[in-house]
Structure 1
Amino acid sequence: MEKIITNSQEKVINKWSPRVLLTRISPLNSGWKGAVIALTLVTLCIYLVQTYYYLGSRGIMDYFTGSVLFLVAILFGTGVIAALLRFAKKMPSRYVWFMLASFCILLLSFLGPLPLTMLLILFIIISSSLLGALLNRFIKGAYQESGKWIKITSGAGAAGTFIVLCVLGTWLIKEGSSEFVVPYPLQTIKTAEHYQMTVDNPAEPGTFDVKSITYSSAPTYRKDLEGEGRLTTETVDGSAFVGNWTSSRTNTFGFGPEAMPLNGMVWYPEGDGPFPLVLIVHGNHLATDNSDPGYAYLGELLASRGYILVSIDENFLNSSPYDELFIFNRLKDENRARGWLLLEHLKTWEEWTSTEGNPFYNKVDMQNIALIGHSRGGEAITTAAAYNELTTYPDDAKIKFDYHFNIRSIISIAGTDMQYKPGGQPIELHNVNYLALHGSHDMDVNSFMGANQYYRTQIMKDSDFFKSYVHIYGANHGQFNTEWGRHDSVGVGNMLFNNAELLLGEEQLQAGEVLISSFLEATLKKNDQYRMVFKDLGYASEWLPETMYISNYWDGDTTMISSYEEDYDPGTTTLSGGGLEGEAFKTWKEDKVKMELTDGQYSAAFLEWDNTDGSSTPTYEVILPDSGVESSELSTLVFSMANNDADHHKKEKTEALVDLTVSVEDENGNVSRLRLSHVSPLLPMFEGVLAKRPFGFFQTIKEPVFQNFAFDMTDFIEGNSDLIPERISKISFVFDQTTKGSILIKDIGIRNELALNLNW
């Protein structure tokens, strides 16, 4: 029987036929077609540049393959979304499709402050689409029959949009618009004559001739390490320390996690030795862009001064967008392997220095070892120091550890923190010299993470260890490594950041050289004159570049009176039997210190005051226990303060520096007073404007960083000769010099150190 199809059924069938569907989504009028073309061209140019940053170092075939595959994936995914949105009938599906694809590509390209990134992407999409639509309509003659007003309006719109896009392009290309200004350089804050040093500048080359050599595991994926005289090492099995090592990563590097190489670049002094051993390790970067050569400047310097420096290759643990499907299949938990590999390198060096015929036979001082880490490497060295003391691997106790090297010193450069926590616990270090360096304009590790580890590093009483950190105004993340340089992001994402307000590269390297070399001289060679640099940066003012610094310091010669970590009672001290009293403050409490991008890891006293009403002068008193604290005329009163007033940038320059009165009182009521500025005024909070102006407010880092103060008891005695330093009973902080403000105070103590061997 013949099947009869009604007219209504035929209409339904025709409506959903492939021919009709293609007809409905295919044609675009001249405006929308121009929008698609313009937006596609702009996005494709940015995409090709960005994928070159990600994949260009792999060679043309990998670059082409990876770019095409990821583009196809984005087009497919956004095409599906565009089809789902077709019901809205607001815009042609093809434009919606390409708009969504452009959004995804631009979002992955401009890796910067999220609000600014979203604003920029929306602006590019809208302006490119508008300009393309208007130009295409002009080309197709759509305005020939239009009125004069419509022609003028359309032409002005196209011209205005083009000009705005040019302005945006110029803004993106420029490094920034502001000059680097240092309100309170160290050299103007620390001017006292007693800061003159008689030792040489630690950033100047020493007396040793420098030689270099490389070592690697065979066969090596690093052809640049195959120089003459190369030493050969065995691979190590790191499969227990990483997860999700893909077959593509194995194909890229030629090995899997079970055969990790031990590769290094070595700079060493020509001589008999033995010389202290220093290992330095980079952080996360593109895996195919080798980061370890970026510390050659330190290798040359330290080797000339009598150290063996090894720059460790851990590039194969870094991000590899090609092998990780950009971000969707990333290597997992590799921070554990970064630290463990350092200890495996030390095992190799221990073997070499005890093997006759090896070029380093009897030349390595394994009793004086330092680890330096940059970025994730800064966390790797703390992991290595923690593993070094353990007998088993915390994440798998079936794996035994037996390292126990004499790691005396570790230096974290812009280090991360707590990306890896053994057994779920933050790493605590004991009796090791610790130094953290960080820049106020770090556009990668934005917050000062190294301060967390500083407070989790415990220095035992009467030990010769010390800890310190230095916060450097204007320093960024990458310029401590010459391969990373001035840009902390990847590719076009760098165009959003404010690189004009950074220290010059050579100045940041100079700061790193002075501080790292001084620290190693003090801790590995026990030259106490260089320890003075960390007690008071004024001793290094002639060596350091002209910028602002905030530093902190603690050592085993100091008796802690109040760390504010013992309980939540604002009236008690850490030292049993002592007390804390406050009067006339707007705010007085103990709480965790909140950094810009991290939860509080340590506590302090919060003090806020306002003397504008002429009432009682705010005073914060530390009452010592009846048993007293060991002190003498050779003692030093120490404490650290942080400016907690985030509104200082709105004030006059003369008000930004906080001053107050510090007094000590003995049991007989004899009092001596000194101003805080006798040592140094309290500096304002460093403000790192990371995003380009005028959009700097989208990412500004401003956080309290503690500044150490040390008042010699002899200065108090000079102010009042009746003062008996052996019977100090009270320490007071009187807020009578600055009208109002907010500060934090922490780590109040008395230092009683042995006489140092200083030749002033």
Structure 2
Amino acid sequence: MNLEYSEAKRKNRIANGLRRRLAGLRERDSGIWRYGIVLLWMLSGTAAALAALGMPTGFGTTFDVVAGFLLSTAGMAISSWTVAVLLALAGARVPRFTIGGFLYTGVIVYCVLMYSDLGWKASLVFSAACTLVTLAIGLAVGAIAVLSVRRRLLAIGVAALAALVTIVSIVGVSQPASEDRAADGDREVAKGDGEVRALSVIPSDPSQQGSYSYRYLTYGSGKDKHRADFGEQADMRSSSVDASAYIKDWPWLRKQFWGFDETALPLNGRAWMPDGDGPFPVVLMVHGNHLMENFSDDGYGYLGELLASRGIAAISVDENFLNYSTWSGIPDQDMKLRAWMLLKHIQLLESYNEQEDSPFYNRLDLERIGLLGHSRGGQAAAMAADAERWFSEDADLPKNGTYRVKAVIALAPTDTEVDGGKPELRDISYLTLQGAKDADLVNFYGDRQYGRVSFSGHTDAFKASLYIEDANHSQFNTSWGRSDNALPAGLFIRPKKMLEAEDQRQIANIYVSAFAEAVFHQSKQYDALFRDYRAGSEYLPETRYFNQYEDGDFRPLVDFEGEDRTSPSPGVAAEATNLTEWRQAEALNRQGESKEGKGAVLEWRDEASFSLQLVPSLVGGLDNDEILMFSLANMGRELEANTEAFEDPDEIEALQKAVESPLSIDIELEDLSGHSARLPLDEFMQAEPQVATEFTWLPRLEAVVSEGKFKDTEEPVFQTYELPLKDFTDANPDFDPAEWTRITFHFNEGPGKVMLGNVGLTAG
């Protein structure tokens, strides 16, 4: 009995002790600590709301933000109570709820920053700093609130001064280690007079509406849960397609959102159809990977309207159901599936073209098809154009000979290997556009596909590329917004001095329209634009451009594929004078990956030269109508990384000047008789400084954000140069192009570094 009484008394004593400790659970969170808790609550809720914007549910932005804030509030309440109880039981005489809220807020901010690909170290530092500063501000506000009016004003002034000093200090710390380089976007680059030699300026603006009126219509399943244009308001019904041969992983959440699985993918399209009998060429446009819940297919209406006004049927293909979702991921075979869906749309158009009750009846010329893609869509377009590589055994696709893809247009495309292969286009015209401030695809992958386009000769097909200094990834699509990165990552990844959305789309309008006119209407009026971007300078927005061009008439002389640098190609011997580096190498992108093309890397300190001796059989029989064509990439910024090799202050100063200025290069041609003509390259086009881009607003973040994705600020980008042989004979009438045997590149000033690409001839 006594034992039972003692045990009960002991338990009662423990219970009373616990009650006493828990009785004052909140007493130390009064006063100024309450203000700290409120501000921590606001910070954690804001962080959660920002994260919610980056992982939409499909119920709308307001729902996502409110849900994120409320869930964070519930999480903070639970966490604060849990920590407070544990601290009370431990007998800690501290503001327990404040500590609980502080810990919760720090964890939430850290998780959000990690979700932004900031890296664990930077996320830890930023989250700790943000949480501490927020708590300090809250406590300061609480302290000011209990002061008299006079003291309150004084305290506010001191706090404002302290905040100003803190901001100035942070800005100072965030500056690059070297102040010698001008800030991106503020650098002035010396410009030439803009004269286009031996090429005509385009006669009109290809971005202007053409003479055709057009009709907008849609086709779809009629059952779309989210868009009436593909649901009950669709102008035409289309049957679903079974993609189960290519995909198995269709999560339950994805099926709930869309209302279908991989066995019943819809064929949805937005069409801009020219008025008239036709038949009209067809351009199918397809978006890339974006958040599934934020639809992408309506983002190319500006291109659809322009093409239709110029007598080209344009169709924007819906593949949103193949895109990424925070809640259901992305299909494993999405790249192949994107291309397969394009082919199924071509098959659908074949049937519409034969249906008498269809608006497309006998009005589509399926022998003149263009495929335009953005991001992953750009790769899908090239894959669909090379369909036999992946779909040769698929009997349910349109048959060879029933249609013909004549052109592929890729806006900032991907270029990943699929089933061990990549598309290789032959006698298909190709155009690719890329922004240097693309924070999604920081590398110019379209450059690699450009290199895999070949011609059999005597073809009208050609290929062209355009690299745009101030363009980004998303603004080619009107639905993707200004930032290339969803929140919260978009808070940190913000390149300076980007083109306005209208200007970036103006570039797309100009090049896509001109390309379509050249390919589908055999118009020659815009040819000069692809050979030299300056031909369209009257209409192009102000920024820097780099372009490449090649057509079926191009005859390569030197491709630098040889193993020996002194014998870079069959029938070619190379020699150099005063070069500090001379090697043949793969061109590399920002991540050190191959751009799938080789060239001669040439570096010099002072005056230097590089010569290529050609056997007579390579160039025999030339006349003044031929044009010397070569590609050159200015790699001068790579010298900045090796400034320790320059000991003389004058050399370092010269290096900084050289990096920011066009190169001084002369081109000399010599014939078998020893007669030569030497001309400055900048009389034709300047060798512009390399483009460098800072992607984050804190330069020191470049190396840590997205696992170092942005740490290299530039990649070598080739520019095609055209030098008519007539200009050399004008300079020296004794020079005989028919006996041309040597080309020499004279580098007049140093230091400098370039990569020289393909050298060849083309028709004038």
Closer, same or farther in 2 for the Cα pair 1:19/1:710, shift >3 Å?
A: farther
Deviation (angstroms), 1:558 = 1.5
Alignment of 1:503-522 (within 5 A): 503-522=499-518
Q: How many Å separate the matches in 1 of 2:252 and 2:701?
A: 42
Which secondary structure does the structure 2 equivalent of 1:687 belong to?
A: coil
The corresponding residue for 1:715 is 727
Deviation (angstroms), 1:460 = 3.4
Q: How many Å separate the matches in 1 of 2:352 and 2:451?
A: 36
**Deviation digits for residues 318-358 of structure 1, max 9, x if unmatched?**
2333x33xxxx554332222221111101111222233332
In structure 1, give the amino acid aligned to 2:411: I
The corresponding residue for 1:621 is 611
On the 8 A contact 2:323/2:330 being kept in 1, the answer is no
Q: How many Å separate the matches in 1 of 2:551 and 2:751?
A: 32
Q: Tell me the TM-score normalised to structure 1 length.
A: 0.83
Closer, same or farther in 2 for the Cα pair 1:184/1:112, shift >3 Å?
A: farther
Closer, same or farther in 2 for the Cα pair 1:79/1:434, shift >3 Å?
A: farther
Alignment of 1:639-678 (within 5 A): 639-646=630-637, 651-652=656-657, 656-678=661-683
**Is 1:592 aligned to residue 593 of structure 2?**
no
On the 8 A contact 1:130/1:161 being kept in 2, the answer is no
Which secondary structure does the structure 2 equivalent of 1:383 belong to?
A: helix
Deviation (angstroms), 1:441 = 1.7
Which of 128, 133, 140 is residue 134 of structure 2 equivalent to?
A: 128
Deviation (angstroms), 1:684 = 0.7
Deviation (angstroms), 1:723 = 2.1
The corresponding residue for 2:468 is 472
Closer, same or farther in 2 for the Cα pair 1:581/1:37, shift >3 Å?
A: same
On the 8 A contact 1:389/1:403 being kept in 2, the answer is no
Deviation (angstroms), 1:411 = 1.0
The corresponding residue for 1:190 is 194
Structure 1 range deviating more: 311-320 or 108-117: 108-117
Which secondary structure does the structure 1 equivalent of 2:357 belong to?
A: coil
On the 8 A contact 1:292/1:313 being kept in 2, the answer is yes
Q: CA RMSD in A?
A: 4.2
Which secondary structure does the structure 2 equivalent of 1:220 belong to?
A: coil
Closer, same or farther in 2 for the Cα pair 1:588/1:654, shift >3 Å?
A: closer
On the 8 A contact 1:135/1:158 being kept in 2, the answer is no
Q: How many Å separate the matches in 2 of 1:263 and 1:450?
A: 27
Q: How many Å separate the matches in 1 of 2:199 and 2:81?
A: 69
**Is 1:219 aligned to residue 223 of structure 2?**
yes
Closer, same or farther in 2 for the Cα pair 1:346/1:126, shift >3 Å?
A: same
Q: How many Å separate the matches in 1 of 2:317 and 2:220?
A: 10
The corresponding residue for 1:409 is 407
The corresponding residue for 1:749 is 760
On the 8 A contact 2:202/2:536 being kept in 1, the answer is no
Deviation (angstroms), 1:155 = 8.0
Alignment of 1:497-576 (within 5 A): 497-498=493-494, 501-564=497-560, 566-574=561-569, 576=570
Closer, same or farther in 2 for the Cα pair 1:53/1:573, shift >3 Å?
A: closer
Deviation (angstroms), 1:179 = 10
Q: Tell me the TM-score normalised to structure 2 length.
A: 0.82
In structure 1, give the amino acid aligned to 2:130: I
Structure 1 range deviating more: 643-652 or 208-217: 643-652
Deviation (angstroms), 1:128 = 0.8
The corresponding residue for 1:102 is 108
The corresponding residue for 1:334 is 334
Alignment of 1:8-87 (within 5 A): 34-52=35-53, 54-55=55-56, 57-59=58-60, 63=64, 67=68, 71=72
Structure 1 range deviating more: 89-98 or 283-292: 89-98
Which secondary structure does the structure 1 equivalent of 2:629 belong to?
A: strand
On the 8 A contact 2:303/2:509 being kept in 1, the answer is yes
Q: How many Å separate the matches in 2 of 1:448 and 1:634?
A: 33
Alignment of 1:260-271 (within 5 A): 260-271=265-276
Deviation (angstroms), 1:254 = 1.2
On the 8 A contact 1:43/1:106 being kept in 2, the answer is no
Q: How many Å separate the matches in 1 of 2:125 and 2:203?
A: 53
**Deviation digits for residues 540-581 of structure 1, max 9, x if unmatched?**
2222122211001122211222223x344222233x232222
Deviation (angstroms), 1:683 = 0.7
Q: How many Å separate the matches in 2 of 1:681 and 1:275?
A: 41
Deviation (angstroms), 1:17 = 9.9
The corresponding residue for 2:177 is none
**Deviation digits for residues 636-660 of structure 1, max 9, x if unmatched?**
1111011101179984489610121
Closer, same or farther in 2 for the Cα pair 1:681/1:91, shift >3 Å?
A: farther
In structure 1, give the amino acid aligned to 2:44: T
On the 8 A contact 2:40/2:131 being kept in 1, the answer is yes
**Deviation digits for residues 280-338 of structure 1, max 9, x if unmatched?**
111122222222222111111111111001011112222333x33xxxx5543322222
Closer, same or farther in 2 for the Cα pair 1:270/1:644, shift >3 Å?
A: same
Q: How many Å separate the matches in 2 of 1:99 and 1:198?
A: 59
In structure 1, give the amino acid aligned to 2:52: T
The corresponding residue for 2:643 is none
Structure 1 range deviating more: 681-690 or 592-601: 592-601
Q: How many Å separate the matches in 2 of 1:716 and 1:277?
A: 44
Closer, same or farther in 2 for the Cα pair 1:609/1:252, shift >3 Å?
A: same
**Is 1:580 aligned to residue 574 of structure 2?**
yes
Q: In structure 2, list runs of 5 or more residues that go unmatched.
A: 173-181, 641-654, 704-709
**Deviation digits for residues 639-682 of structure 1, max 9, x if unmatched?**
10111011799844896101211112222222121111121110
Deviation (angstroms), 1:538 = 2.4
Which secondary structure does the structure 2 equivalent of 1:501 belong to?
A: coil
Q: How many Å separate the matches in 2 of 1:398 and 1:74?
A: 54
Alignment of 1:239-258 (within 5 A): 239-242=244-247, 244-258=249-263
Deviation (angstroms), 1:463 = 3.5
Deviation (angstroms), 1:211 = 1.2
Which of 633, 637, 642 is residue 624 of structure 2 equivalent to?
A: 633
On the 8 A contact 1:112/1:497 being kept in 2, the answer is no
On the 8 A contact 2:202/2:528 being kept in 1, the answer is no
On the 8 A contact 1:689/1:696 being kept in 2, the answer is no
Which of 234, 237, 258 is residue 242 of structure 2 equivalent to?
A: 237
Closer, same or farther in 2 for the Cα pair 1:417/1:471, shift >3 Å?
A: same
**Is 1:487 aligned to residue 491 of structure 2?**
no
On the 8 A contact 1:195/1:538 being kept in 2, the answer is no
Q: How many Å separate the matches in 2 of 1:5 and 1:705?
A: 88
What is the percent sequence identity of the aligned residues? 27
The corresponding residue for 1:725 is 737
In structure 2, give the amino acid aligned to 1:316: F
In structure 2, give the amino acid aligned to 1:485: G
The corresponding residue for 1:758 is none
Structure 1 range deviating more: 422-431 or 534-543: 422-431
Which secondary structure does the structure 1 equivalent of 2:504 belong to?
A: helix
Deviation (angstroms), 1:63 = 3.3
Which secondary structure does the structure 2 equivalent of 1:702 belong to?
A: coil
Q: How many Å separate the matches in 1 of 2:244 and 2:16?
A: 55
Q: How many Å separate the matches in 1 of 2:462 and 2:16?
A: 78
On the 8 A contact 2:218/2:229 being kept in 1, the answer is no
**Deviation digits for residues 344-399 of structure 1, max 9, x if unmatched?**
10111122223333221221111111111112211221222232554446xxx899
Deviation (angstroms), 1:729 = 1.5
**Is 1:209 aligned to residue 213 of structure 2?**
yes
Closer, same or farther in 2 for the Cα pair 1:137/1:228, shift >3 Å?
A: closer
